[in-house]
Structure 1
């Protein structure tokens, strides 16, 4: 009888464990001058997108190339990564 309760008790304890992963950015987006200085002028690569988005606390990010059509809706939780013709980051804005 004692053997049957140990696996059940262990199973209940295993179900109670939680793992705390990184907190997902929820906004609002935050971009100041020092933040801009850290990234503007850098060559943009896709892995850099997540780093910048996370550092800006933006829930979503969009990459804008010259002449891309852009919606005018204001989203305080969105980061805009504006690229130049050379593929380098020209500006970072929220909205």
Structure 2
């Protein structure tokens, strides 16, 4: 066999081996943060059950309680004068807080 053919075959074999290594099992995905786990009703938000948190301090546990109650897939806390995206997301619960961090409104979007 000529040296150029041997080099071509070795290069092809190396490429095939590298590609085969890439085709292994997918790496495990890290667990989603708790506030992004799916809600109990498939992720679509219903703000009515979340109204029970109005007047409470916006802690992580209260935010999660409201998210689960609403069935939303995610929740965000909106501070006074905070710039936010205006896109409507039916899977998101928005908790509006006042200057002291108390929840004043709970709505979907």
Correspondences of 1:71-82 after superposition (within 5 Å): 71-82=85-96
- The alignment status of 1:30 with 2:30, answered yes or no, reads no
Structure of greater Rg: 2
Deviation above 6 Å: which 4+ runs of structure 1? none
- The alignment status of 1:93 with 2:107, answered yes or no, reads yes
Q: In 1, are the aligned partners of 2:76 and 2:95 still within 8 Å (CA)?
A: yes
Query: CA offset at residue 64 of structure 1?
Result: 0.5
Q: Count residues with an aligned counterpart.
A: 71
For structure 2, list consecutive stretches of 5 or more residues without a partner in the other structure. 1-36
For structure 1, list consecutive stretches of 5 or more residues without a partner in the other structure. 1-22
Kindly indicate which of the two structures has a greater share of residues assigned to helix.
Answer: 2
TM-score by length of 2: 0.60
RMSD: 1.6
What's 1:20 paired with? none
Counterpart CA distance in 1 for 2:56 and 2:89 is 25
Query: CA offset at residue 70 of structure 1?
Result: 0.9
Query: CA offset at residue 62 of structure 1?
Result: 0.8
TM-score by length of 1: 0.68
